[in-house]
């Protein structure tokens, strides 16, 4: 890996989705063309739904919040207050001898799993189901989502971890097109995790994984 500078940004107020997309696209271009600093941006959005490139219109059950088309992979997801979104802009050509998108997604999963472990939650991968899952009684539920896009081998979009989010807001969609399983949050699992603590866990785990 080459020496790369990494900027951590954190938004104190909810960021509108078009604003975040504009920032990411500009930063990706700067990284790809001008050697700009890589970036991890921690933020929350106002309530909204985003549709990935594989989104099925039938999975938009009740568009009670604004819906944004996005170029990331995946299907429909919800973003809103109490959910920590981490947008990750990294240059895979500098970080990997052979740029590998599947490996990158695995690393994002590992990042989430290690972060949740610092919050005393056991997150797990599931074959054929994107995101990170936790066991809840006799079933399991999704606690974190992943959606990425790559341009010139520079990544953007990223992950979302449900902390204190209102889980009823997911009822307007079939999250990630996966039926038969619910969503959960740190709060719903009985974990009281201040957002600043979650952010610190994300930074520590990022250093371990990447």
Active-site residue, 176 included: yes
**Six-digit token pair at 57?**
């219109």
Of 107, 130, 109, the C-alpha closest to 52 is 130
Of 163, 118, 124, 160, the C-alpha closest to 141 is 124
CA dihedral 182, 113, 110, 159 (to 10 degrees): 50
Find the catalytic residue in 43, 176, 186, 202.
176
CA distance 6 to 88: 10
Long-range contacts of 52-60 (CB under 8 A, 24+ apart): 52/76, 52/77, 52/147, 54/177, 55/177, 56/174, 56/177, 58/174, 59/173, 59/174, 59/177, 60/172, 60/173
Of 136, 139, 137, 140, the C-alpha closest to 125 is 140
Active site residues: 176
């Amino acid at each position: 890996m080459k020496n790369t500078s990494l900027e951590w940004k954190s938004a104190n107020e909810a960021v509108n989705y078009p604003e975040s997309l504009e920032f990411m696209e500009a930063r990706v271009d700067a990284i790809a063309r001008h050697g700009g600093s890589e970036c991890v941006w921690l933020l929350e959005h106002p309530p909204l739904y985003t549709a990935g490139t594989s989104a099925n219109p039938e999975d938009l059950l009740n568009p009670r919040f604004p819906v944004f088309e996005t170029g990331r992979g995946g299907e429909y997801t919800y973003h809103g207050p109490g959910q920590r979104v981490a947008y990750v802009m990294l240059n895979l050509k500098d970080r990997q001898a052979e740029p590998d998108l599947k490996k990158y997604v695995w690393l994002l999963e590992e990042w989430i799993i290690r972060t949740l472990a610092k919050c005393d939650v056991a997150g797990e991968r599931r074959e054929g189901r994107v995101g990170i899952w936790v066991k809840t009684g006799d079933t399991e539920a999704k606690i974190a989502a992943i959606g990425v896009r790559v341009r010139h081998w520079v990544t953007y979009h990223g992950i979302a971890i449900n902390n204190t989010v209102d889980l009823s807001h997911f009822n307007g969609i079939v999250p990630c097109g996966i039926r038969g399983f619910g969503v959960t949050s740190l709060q719903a699992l009985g974990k009281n995790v201040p957002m600043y603590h979650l952010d610190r866990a994300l930074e520590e785990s990022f250093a371990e994984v990447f």
